[in-house]
Structure 1
Amino acid sequence: MDKLIHVSTEEDIFPEYRETPIGLLLEYHNLHRSFDSYSKAQLLIGMCMDNRKSLRIPDNFAYIIRSGGGNLRYSEFKVSYAIAIGGVKAIALLGHNNCGMVNLYSKKEKFIEGLVETAGWNKEFAEEHYMNFAPMYEIGNEIDFVLSEAVRLRSRYPKILVAPLFYNIEDNEFYLIKE
């Protein structure tokens, strides 16, 4: 957690993010900046599907892709669309604490039982489903994953500003991550 920098003033925002859509995101969410009006998205936000998180941003400010762990590996066409058609020039990646995609292997039995009991699947099919997809969605450590995903996206989209951020579900605040 020593890599995390809480944003409680404009000066806390890293210089490379100031006066960019990333800086605005931090100002809207953490600093309660008054909303500006937007007719088109300024950035893409990649974040977890976790229901404990909500964003304080103006309408039309951002495309948002929610996926387990904020993993955009399997949403790359959507990322490309937001850039090519939507014209966004920045991506905010939001990892968060207590993510369900961390240590998926410890949840195997509960996952399988849940599909059998709740969805009506047979056990063998539920187990096969888990074994096929869990390795794709396991993210390991939340901070390490969002940092590695930022590196991957920067390589893929070299002209796009990519910011790895951390969402603390206890205080509903964003934190910058020292790389």
Structure 2
Amino acid sequence: MNYADKSELRHNKNELPLEHLIPVTSRDSILEEYRGTPIESLLGYHNLEYSFDKYKHAELLIGMCMDYRKHLNIPDNFAYILRTGGGNLRYSEFKLSYAIAIGGVKAIALIGHDNCGMVNLMSKKEKFVQGLVENAGWDLERAEEHFTHFVPMFEIGNEVDFVISEAKRLRLRYPKILVVPMFYGMADKQLYLLKE
């Protein structure tokens, strides 16, 4: 299934803003400003089956969700990868700064995906709290306080809007770094560029 051709894709009863998705089906579909950069290489390796080059160090950092259902087709040593809930890098900035300052990263790919668990977190409160009580041995009050304290930090709202806003924030923070918002389609396992 290709999301660009499917109008019925839904998440939490709200349609994703499919008008933002740019399918990458050939080199020509990669936006001009990303050609010749690690972003083109990422899209080429994952979507277009480019032959793997050998890398001694990474020039790309990929920020993506910790969701276990996503796997990228990339060569060894190609990228640093930070996986966080919703791909939210707000609380991983020191690691990001380290990869830029010490690791020499020149570009950041922020990859959101559909059906993300960090969307509409309040609807998951009961299951979250009960899971901590049953699976981790927490008492009910401590589990509820934990949930209530952290929800505002980790709720991302709409997946596409969050990735685009996070890219804008990081561009201001790291003005010499290429920061590109992307989307991973869970059904077709393809990467999409996002129109901003």
TM range (shorter): over 0.9
> Is residue 183 of structure 2 the alignment partner of residue 177 of structure 1?
no
What residue in structure 1 maps to residue 109 of structure 2?
92
- Root-mean-square deviation (CA, aligned residues, Å) is 0.4
The alignment partner of 1:158 has SS state of: coil
Structure-to-structure mapping, 1:55-134, within 5 angstroms: 55-134=72-151
Where 1:107 maps in the other structure, the secondary structure is helix
Q: Displacement, 1:146? A: 0.1
Taking structure 2 as the reference length, the TM-score comes to 0.91
In structure 1, list runs of 5 or more residues that go unmatched.
none
**2:153 alignment partner in structure 1:** 136
Give the Cα–Cα distance (whole angstroms) in 1 for the partners of residues 95 and 34 of structure 2: 23
Distance 1:78 1:118 in 2: 30
Give every structure 1 segment of 4 or more consecutive aligned residues whose post-TM-superposition deviation is greater than 6 Å.
none
In structure 2, the gaps of 5 or more residues are 1-17
Q: In structure 2, what is the Cα distance between the partners aligned to 1:14 and 1:110?
A: 42
SS at match of 2:48: coil
Residues in 1 aligned to 2:98 and 2:166: alpha-carbon distance in whole angstroms: 18
What number of residue pairs does the alignment pair up?
A: 179
Q: Deviation of residue 74 (structure 1)?
A: 0.1
- In the aligned structure 1, how far is the partner of 2:93 from the partner of 2:109? 14
Match of 2:59 among 42, 48, 58: 42
C-alpha deviation, 1:42, in angstroms? 1.7
Q: How far does residue 166 in structure 1 lie from its aligned partner after superposition?
A: 0.2
Distance, in Å, in 1 between the alignment partners of 2:188 and 2:119 is 20
1:31 is displaced (CA, Å) by 0.3
Q: Deviations over 1:19-63 (max 9, x none)?
A: 100010000000010000000002000000000000100000000
SS in 2 for 1:8: coil
- What is the one-letter code of the residue matched to 2:163? V
Quote the Cα distance in structure 2 between the aligned partners of 1:98 and 1:8. 23
For 2:54, give the aligned amino acid: S
Does 1:22 pair with 2:36?
Answer: no
Q: Percent identity?
A: 70
Give me the TM-score of the superposition, normalised by structure 1: 0.99
- Find the partner of 1:51 among 57, 62, 68: 68
CA distance in 2: counterparts of 1:119 and 1:14, whole angstroms:
46
Q: Distance in 2 between matches of 1:169 and 1:27?
A: 18
